Amino acid sequence: MLTRVSVALAAALSLLALSPASAADNYQVKDGNGTVMTIKSKDVGSGVQSPQFVPSDASGNVLTGTAGAPSTGALTVQGLAGGTPQPADTVVRATATSRSTVIPVAGVSAAVSAGGTGHAVGDVLTQTGGTCTVQPRWTVATVASGAVATVTLNAAGSCTVLATAPVATTSSGSGTGATLTPAYASIPTQVMAANPGRRGFQIQPQGLPAYLSGLATASADQASLKLPADALYESLPQHVGTGAISVVGTAGLPLPVYAREY
């Protein structure tokens, strides 16, 4: 009888030794949605260790699913000895959010097209027309018999649609009839705010080249990434910057920008 018990006990211990066992948690990672991924080392037999990924929500509840029925926001993968790939029972999902905008321009200089009458040095001329959050303004620098001869920049303004030149103006004084042909420069504009949960993004300057930066305010030089007109830039799948993203145009014209964040 004792011999039979010993044999049975030995067989049971042998089966336990062959059963895969999970080691203690090695480390955890958390994504922007609060999903926690615990990575363990699992003995799959014959001394072979295989990684085991165990996702859980922000409260520590393990996320589970069945093949073809994904659990939202998590990816689980179980490796096996020999490196045989296994189907994932959950998938990462992300919804794109439109960040499309128009990069505005600001006035930098202006030539006088028509001087008008009744103007005086120091009068302020404000542009009219177009679509501007603030219209560019110009200070009358010199006059000739009441007609504006030259102007200097008073306020650069910000416009996404430009009025056709020559541009009509209104005056802070009694003068009338002055028109200008302004020159503009692109205003560096934040297209996306910093987002720790960002999984990816796309940017496309439409019709004109542009510069893109995810490190600082975009500038039209080697410190920013230059994008040709109509080129689509998409973030790399293995590395996505989460800082603020800004864009600046290279021409003195408003720049439509297609942008998606997910």
Contact 154, 124 (CB under 8 A): yes
Same domain, 195 and 170: no
Same domain, 238 and 193: yes
pLDDT (0 to 100) of residue 96: 87
Q: Which of 7-11, 48-52, 117-121 has the lowest mean pLDDT?
A: 7-11
What phi and psi values does residue 18 have, to the nearest 5 degrees?
A: -85, -15
Same domain, 255 and 211: yes
The SS3 of residue 39 is: strand
- What is the number of other CB atoms lying within 10 angstroms of the CB of residue 114? 15
More confident of the two residues 179 and 51: 179
Q: Which of 58-62, 97-101, 187-191, 207-211 has the lowest mean pLDDT?
A: 58-62
More confident of the two residues 246 and 44: 246
Q: What is the dihedral of CA 69, 71, 72, 78, to 10 degrees?
A: -110
pLDDT digits (tens, 9 = 90+) for 35-49: 555 656 666 666 666
| Predicted confidence (pLDDT) at residue 142 exceeds the cutoff of 60 | yes
pLDDT (0 to 100) of residue 55: 62
pLDDT digits (tens, 9 = 90+) for 167-180: 999 999 999 999 99
Domain count along the chain: 3
Q: What percent of the chain has pLDDT over 70?
A: 64
Confidence of residue 58 (pLDDT cuts 50, 70, 90): low
Q: In what order do the strands lie in the sheet with 225-227?
A: 189-192, 245-249, 210-213, 225-227
Please give the Cα distance from 48 to 30 (Å, whole number).
27
| Residue 15 maps to a domain | no
Domain that holds residue 71: 22-93
pLDDT (0 to 100) of residue 35: 56
Average of per-residue pLDDT values in the chain: 80
* Average pLDDT score over residue span 240-256: 94
Please give the Cα distance from 130 to 150 (Å, whole number).
23
Straight-line distance from the first to the last Cα atom of the chain, in angstroms, rounded to the nearest whole number: 69
Same domain, 36 and 54: yes
Same domain, 114 and 135: yes
